[in-house]
Amino acid sequence: MSRIQPSTVAVAIVGAGASALITGKTLLNDGFDNLTLITRDSTPGGTWAGERVYPALRLNNVHGEYHFSSLPMPGVGASRLKGSQLTDYMESFAGQYLKGHIRFRTEVINVRRPNALETIIESEVGEGWIMTVRNLKDGSTEELKFDKIVLCTGGCSEPNIPTELQPPSSLQIPVIHSSKFWVNVENIVPSLQSTDGGSSPTVVLVGGGKSTQDIAAFLCKKGIRTKVVFETADSFISAPDWLPAFLRRSRLMSIMSPTIDLRSRLERFLHKTRIGSMIVQSYWESLQSNSFNLLKIPRDSPLRRTHSVFWSIRVNDESYATDSFFTLCTEGKIELIAPTRVIGYGHDGRSVLLKSGETIPADAVILGTGYGSSWERLFDKQTADDIGLNRTIPDSFEKWDYETLKNPPAARPKNEQWALSIYRGLVPAKSILRHDLAINGAVFSSNNGYTFEAAAHWISSYFLRDPFLKLPSSVEAAMAETARVAAFVQQRYPNMLLWTSDSYSANIVFFGWPQYVDQLLEDMSLPSVRSGGNWLTWAFSTVSVEELKTLKNERGSKRDTTHQSL
């Protein structure tokens, strides 16, 4: 197979969030000079763009662990990183490595093959892509041609509003999706404070996730009455800031979480034996109950109605600040209405309607109803089907006989379940032989900096057709692997796909991100388990993104060696 000349290949990355920035840098370093990142935002960072980040936003990952190996994260200290630190980081990363390669205020409105009826499965040069973009400054549209594209449009960039909560024209109060709250906060708060001639206005927040919690705490501190309606709240882990790195930044948590392949004797012991399973169970149970106790959540509080820390991906890493959402709730300053759902709006046009039939008066409604897929608006249905970005019905019946996976929560009916067929969460299985489409940012991981960076190298090797990158030899083989992953995800996280969008669930690895990255490294024929340690200490060795710093050179040496031997 001929060697690709990367400088002759036009590559587009859709997005300029964290996953796009590291993918862009990695591709540029590998010689893909004809590279354009396209974003509808006016600054880099995506979720962390300055135009989006709000004052109360704190990173909910392990301390400081959201950066890339080439640029240290300044200000990593005892407490969690602030959203604004992420903004500064993303801006300096983009300024340092991607100057002149980002096209801002440009919305991608359609991506398609030049010939929609194209049936070639494998093509050496590829027929490329046509992308229609809209210039958001003047509204003009334009068609661009690229040889390869990487989708980095994120899992939290398209607000989702369920049909029943779409505001009817008769509604007299504002309804705001949580993602639009902070950009409009300077208008929203004064307009609420002037409501009703001085009596305290009421905001009803729908949903028990992180966004609603942050907004509720903010409004409450502004003297606005807040009522949060939810069925199940996000779960959280709260631990003192001074927890040592060998507990907080090691592989410990990932080993305690069963993964698709149990890669070590320790993991097999923990997940396949009765004693191991008891250790795992008590580990997660004590994490959950210690977290409740640390935040002094009363036994009968609806805040204990959370998703399970073990079985779910709705888990935040909380610090225990004295004026947090949780303390404001336990002090009675934020009212919780749970367990129930908002199913619409009241006939009076100024209230929300609960499942019970009760209505709650409101001066504004904030919807923390999550995010939809950012791929939907990019592709028409036919193109999505052709390239393999569509939902499938899970059709693998493989089961994992782990002790730790016994007694799962009840699964929703089969007809509500779905899956995607995206190999390694990076390339649609159907397109695996084409080498002209990849995705970064759609694997649900709790350490995105580390995961995005490893994935970026995998994608670059895939585009370069590096001979050392191990890939399935056929579409069918790629499909078989994605079906197996889908079956595992369904068993490991029953129902969790129903809580995320397609563009955030190409695979769910969550606490298992170290094992997932090990697999990507092994695909690239590179050493895995880079945190080191001996048979006794490896589980407690600190994992750091710096261990990925040499990947470009390691891949380069492999490439040279393979080509010399051909």
Ligand X SMILES: Cc1cc2nc3c(=O)[nH]c(=O)nc-3n(C[C@H](O)[C@H](O)[C@H](O)COP(=O)(O)OP(=O)(O)OC[C@H]3O[C@@H](n4cnc5c(N)ncnc54)[C@H](O)[C@@H]3O)c2cc1C
Contact residues: ligand X, CB under 6 A: 14-20, 38-41, 46-48, 59-61, 107-108, 152-154, 156-157, 211, 374, 377-378, 441, 448
For ligand X, the closer CB: 442 or 471: 442
For ligand X, the closer CB: 152 or 524: 152
| Distances in whole angstroms, Cα of residue 390 to Cα of each of 276, 396, 397, 482, 506 | 38, 17, 20, 13, 11
CA-to-CA distance for 408 and 324, rounded, in angstroms?
A: 31
Residue 2 C-beta: closest distance to ligand X, Å:
32
Phi-psi region of 487 (alpha: psi -120 to 50; beta: other; left: phi over 0): alpha
Helix (H), strand (E), coil (C) string for 417-459: CCECCEECCCEEHHHCCCCCEEECCCEEECCHHHHHHHHHHHH
CA-closest candidate to residue 126, choices 427, 431, 421, 384: 431
**Quick one: angle between helices 448-464 and 551-565, nearest 10?**
20
Q: Which residues contact 1 (CB under 8 A, 6 or more apart)?
A: 124, 465, 467
Cβ(219)–Cβ(190) under 8 Å?
no
For ligand X, the closer CB: 131 or 526: 131
Residue 24 C-beta: closest distance to ligand X, Å:
11
Cβ(185)–Cβ(53) under 8 Å?
no
Residue 321 C-beta: closest distance to ligand X, Å:
15
Tokens of 90: 């993303």
Residue 29 C-beta: closest distance to ligand X, Å:
18
For ligand X, the closer CB: 374 or 541: 374
Peptide bond into 339 cis (omega under 30): yes
Phi-psi region of 500 (alpha: psi -120 to 50; beta: other; left: phi over 0): beta
Residue 120 C-beta: closest distance to ligand X, Å:
27
For ligand X, the closer CB: 17 or 472: 17
Q: Which residue is nearest to ligand X (CB)?
A: 46
3-state helix, strand, coil in the chain (%, to 5): 35, 20, 45
Burial bucket for residue 169 (CB in 10 Å: 0-12, 13-18, 19+): exposed
For ligand X, the closer CB: 181 or 345: 181
Residue 358 C-beta: closest distance to ligand X, Å:
30
Residue 514 C-beta: closest distance to ligand X, Å:
15
For ligand X, the closer CB: 374 or 515: 374
For ligand X, the closer CB: 149 or 551: 149
For ligand X, the closer CB: 37 or 471: 37
Residues in the chain: 566
CA-closest candidate to residue 159, choices 143, 175, 173: 175
For ligand X, the closer CB: 156 or 203: 156
Residue 371 C-beta: closest distance to ligand X, Å:
7
For ligand X, the closer CB: 159 or 162: 159
Helix (H), strand (E), coil (C) string for 101-131: CEECCEEEEEEECCCCCCCCCCCCCCCCEEE
Residue 401 C-beta: closest distance to ligand X, Å:
31
Residue 20 C-beta: closest distance to ligand X, Å:
5
Centroid of chain to Cα 551: 23
Q: Which residues contact 139 (CB under 8 A, 6 or more apart)?
A: none
Residue 152 C-beta: closest distance to ligand X, Å:
5
